[in-house]
Structure 1
Amino acid sequence: MTDPDHDERLPALAVACPSCGSTPDQLCTSHGGTRTRRHDVHQTRTQAHRALVDSIETELTGGCGVCDTEADEMCVGCGGCRCDRHDTCTRPTP
């Protein structure tokens, strides 16, 4: 159902489509699943792919992709991100 050329033209095929439920590497469908979209994907799938890429880039640069905390935004007291509470962190004095 998919063609190797689509992987290069449609990088969003790397993620599942939230709109039609197509699995990764499968083309999106329209009209209740009766037609395959051969030239594009749903906008929600493109957005999901973009969010995944952004998350991976954040992780690779030392941040947290889950809560989107960049490396320079990490807690100075403990080095943690926004996923955790920081009530007990000791902040350095300026």
Structure 2
Amino acid sequence: MTLALDRTRALLDTPPPDVIPGQLDLTRSTVTTQPLGLNDLLAATPVPPGTEAYPAQITVFCDDCGTTATHDYVVHTGMTRDERLTVARQHLTDSQNWDCGAAGDLCPDCKGDEPGMCPACDTAVIERCVACGRCRCDTHENCIRPTP
């Protein structure tokens, strides 16, 4: 019994090996916490008259691989389902490197970042108007198409 206890003590006294890249490092705590302050957050959120702000957990799925992104958002009772989803898509596009546009919801691994892509309508450079070079965001009423 003493031999087993000695081995256990030796293992506990031995420093852990270096962390392998890609492996979770349990020797350091990198988690930061902040108090939620939900009431303060809800009170500070601008909402239209006659509506109330409330927290909502919204999940967006990548249309290619099925990856999900779930976050908490502050929405209000006057919003439709599509408007609440737009809040989540805007957040993912702005801060999580997703591409949520006309081509669908694409995670950072699946999106195609071609140079010159319009983030609003997902128009690539080769798909732009031949006459003016602008994307689909513009109406092109005054464009004169070249004849072939």
Larger Cα-atom Rg: 2
What is the TM-score of this pair, normalised by structure 1? 0.44
Task: Specify which structure has the bigger relative contact order, considering alpha-carbon pairs within 8 angstroms and separated by 6 or more residues.
Answer: 1
Bigger strand fraction: 2
What is the TM-score of this pair, normalised by structure 2? 0.30
Bigger helix fraction: 1
